[in-house]
Amino acid sequence: MLSYQHSYHAGGPADVHKHVALTLLLTHLTAKAKPASVIDLYAGNGVYALTAAAAQKTGEYHDGIAKLWAVQNPPAALGAYLRVVKHLNPGELSLYPGSPDIARQMLRPDDRLILNELHPTSFTALKGWVGHDDRIAVHKRDGLEALLALVPPQVRRGLALIDPSFEMKTDYTEIPVRLATAVEKWREGIFMIWYPVLADARHKPLLTGIAAIASPSFCAELTLPKPSSEKGLRGTGIVVVNPPWKFDAEMLEAGDAVAKILGGKHFTRWLREPT
Ligand SMILES: C[S@@+](CC[C@H](N)C(=O)[O-])C[C@H]1O[C@@H](n2cnc3c(N)ncnc32)[C@H](O)[C@@H]1O
């Protein structure tokens, strides 16, 4: 029962907030000379055409990346994110980088990118987008099953991105359970989880469950100025387990900058503070 297709939502406000956080984490990972791994468990297509029928149908990117793109002197806090988008679009804005493309652009020759995607159409698109790149491996498995199978990676400094479509309501309770085991298996790993904020606040058990894991976790949420066409999305959130030092302050600054451009309210908090 896989009906979600990210091509309808690429470049929308949720992508912007999530990908700003991702670029901040990748900046940390690539700041040290040691190699790093990125595991993207719900990878999607890799890259998206904003001119395609799906993106045009919802027009969500108009409320997201198109607004940032139009800013003349964007704040430095959004620099890494905008550099990635600009690299893909040397002229007009017509393509949007999915998380695999963001990681691929920021990773170095000795880094590793492990991608996973279950939807047959997205998997085919992803494989085609990867082409031949020795740094990248592609899997087609259930994301939560892959989480436990793929951690810890051989190169142990790294990040796992958990960005499901939440078509399965059980994800809200199942993710913290699997995550607890993954954190146990990969103590030095950074884990970033995206979640939707809907009218019925069904993400609450997800946050409570993650807060119960005995590792620091930091949460950033952006409430949208108007519900998105994405099934009543009221806001968008990320949780980072084992965030790098200073990520909390960087995310606060970058998220506030996003809110100033897109509208809406941004706030951050520790679910569990570092000891
Ligand atoms: C929100 S999108 C991912 C977007 C991508 N991470 C990005 O930021 O560009 C979620 C993806 O998960 C895929 N998916 C849905 N259920 C899955 C499952 N059980 N296991 C793996 N992938 C799944 C969907 O096909 C979709 O491409």
Q: Is residue 70 part of a domain?
A: yes
**Residue 227's pLDDT is what?**
67
**230, pLDDT greater than 80:** no
Measured between its terminal Cα atoms, the distance across the chain in Å is 42
* Average pLDDT, integer, range 105-119: 97
Cβ-in-10-Å burial (0-12, 13-18, 19+) of 109 comes to exposed
**So what's the pLDDT on residue 2?**
80
197 assigned to some structural domain? yes
How much is the pLDDT for 19?
Answer: 98
The answer to whether the beta carbons of residues 191 and 26 sit under 8 Å apart is no
How many angstroms separate the CA atoms of 35 and 117, rounded?
24
- Answer yes or no: is pLDDT of 129 > 60: yes
Q: Is residue 54 part of a domain?
A: yes
* CATH, residue 73: 3.40.50.150
pLDDT band at residue 170 using 50, 70 and 90 as cut-offs: very high
Average pLDDT for residues 167-177, to the nearest whole number? 95
CA distance 138 to 247: 28
Mean pLDDT of 200-218: 96
163 catalytic? Reply is: yes
Tokens 């409320």 -> residue: 63
Q: What pTM, to 2 d.p., does this model score?
A: 0.97
Mention every residue, 6+ apart, whose C-beta is less than 8 A from residue 4: 119, 165, 167
User: Mind listing the pLDDT tens digit for each residue in 4-36?
Assistant: 999 999 999 999 999 999 999 999 999 999 999
Cis amide linkage into residue 75, ω under 30° from 0: no
Q: How many domains does the chain have?
A: 1
User: CB of 126 within 8 A of CB of 43?
Assistant: yes
Q: How many CB atoms lie within 10 A of CB 104?
A: 23
Amino acid identity for residue 238 in this structure: I
Tell me, what's the pLDDT at 196? 96
Does 23 contact ligand 1 (Cβ within 6 A)? Answer: no
- Atom number, ligand 1, closest to the C-alpha of residue 119: 25
| Paired tokens of 155 | 């190169």
Report the alpha-carbon distance of residue 120 to residue 205 in Å, rounded: 30
Pocket flag, ligand 1, residue 165 (CB < 6 Å): yes
Q: For residue 270, give the amino acid letter.
A: W
- Residue 200: strand, helix, or coil: coil
Between CA 222 and CA 267 the distance in angstroms is 7
CA of 34 to the centre of ligand 1 (A): 29
pLDDT of 232 reads 78
| 33 domain-assigned | yes
142 lines ligand 1 (CB under 6 A): yes
- Residue 229 binned pLDDT confidence (cut-offs 50, 70, 90): low
pLDDT at residue 115 greater than cutoff 90:
yes
The Cα-based distances of 145 to 42, 181, 261, 273 in angstroms read 11, 12, 38, 28
Looking at the domain assignment, is residue 42 inside a domain?
Answer: yes
Give the Å distances, CA to CA, from 188 to 65, 98, 119, 215, 244: 32, 25, 30, 10, 10
Residue spans of alpha helices (H) in 60-115: 65-69, 79-88, 99-106
Is 274 part of a structural domain of the chain? no
Q: What are the pLDDT digits (tens) for 52-96?
A: 999 999 999 999 999 999 999 999 999 999 999 999 999 999 999
Residue 1: pLDDT over 70: no
Q: What is the domain extent for residue 201?
A: 6-269
Kindly indicate the confidence band of residue 49, based on its pLDDT and cuts at 50, 70 and 90: very high
171 close to ligand 1 (CB < 6 Angstrom) = no
Q: Is 224 inside any structural domain?
A: yes
Q: How is residue 178 written in tokens?
A: 């699997």
What is the average pLDDT value for the chain, to the nearest integer?
96
Q: Give a yes or no: residue 27 inside a domain.
A: yes
Q: What is the pLDDT of residue 226?
A: 77
Q: Which amino acid is at 120?
A: P
